[in-house]
């Protein structure tokens, strides 16, 4: 079946550090891939998405590239800020169901 695996957290970084959160998936066919973010006290919201192989999704300085050959969709940001502290969820959508990874909590220290 379809599944999403993302790196366990928490991840703790200093401000301006480089961020990578790994995400790999298992799916039949060609799913769409997403990163959602959950800021403290808020609901989940879409951060970025990619709908086909080699697409790059980007938003708020975050990027992720749909790599079909490695079935990956790693999230990166060149310089994190304290305000990026949140839980990040990798997800795939195939048909009507969206499947989420377990989430990775990011702490950014000033």
Partner 1 sequence: GAGVSQSPSNKVTEKGKDVELRCDPISGHTALYWYRQRLGQGLEFLIYFQGNSAPDKSGLPSDRFSAERTGESVSTLTIQRTQQEDSAVYLCASNYGGGKSGTGELFFGEGSRLTVL
Nearer to partner 1 among residue 45 and residue 83 (C-beta): 45
Please state, in angstroms and rounded to a whole number, the distance separating the CA atoms of residues 36 and 97. 15
**Ramachandran category for residue 47: left, alpha or beta (phi over 0 → left; psi -120 to 50 → alpha):** alpha
Is 7 a binding residue for partner 1 by CB under 8 A? The answer is no
Is 107 a binding residue for partner 1 by CB under 8 A? The answer is no
Smallest separation, CB 64 to partner 1 (Å): 15
**Count of beta carbons in the 10 Å neighbourhood of residue 22:** 16
CB 9 within 8 A of CB 103: yes
Is 95 a binding residue for partner 1 by CB under 8 A? The answer is yes
Smallest separation, CB 75 to partner 1 (Å): 15
CB 61 within 8 A of CB 78: yes
Residues within window 29-48 making contact with partner 1, judged by CB under 8 A: 30-32, 34, 36, 42-46
Residues that bind partner 1 (CB under 8 A): 30-32, 34, 36, 42-46, 49, 51, 89, 92-103
């Amino acid at each position: 079946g379809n599944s999403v695996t993302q790196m366990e957290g928490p991840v703790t970084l200093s401000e301006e550090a480089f961020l990578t959160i790994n995400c790999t998936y298992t799916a039949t066919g060609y799913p769409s891939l997403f990163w959602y973010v959950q800021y403290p006290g808020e609901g989940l919201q879409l951060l970025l998405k990619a709908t086909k192989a080699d697409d790059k999704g980007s938003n708020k300085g975050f990027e992720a590239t749909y790599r079909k050959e490695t079935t990956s969709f790693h999230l990166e940001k060149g310089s994190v800020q304290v305000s990026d502290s949140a839980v990040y969820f990798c997800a795939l959508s195939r048909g009507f169901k969206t499947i989420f990874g377990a989430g990775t909590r990011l702490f950014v220290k000033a």
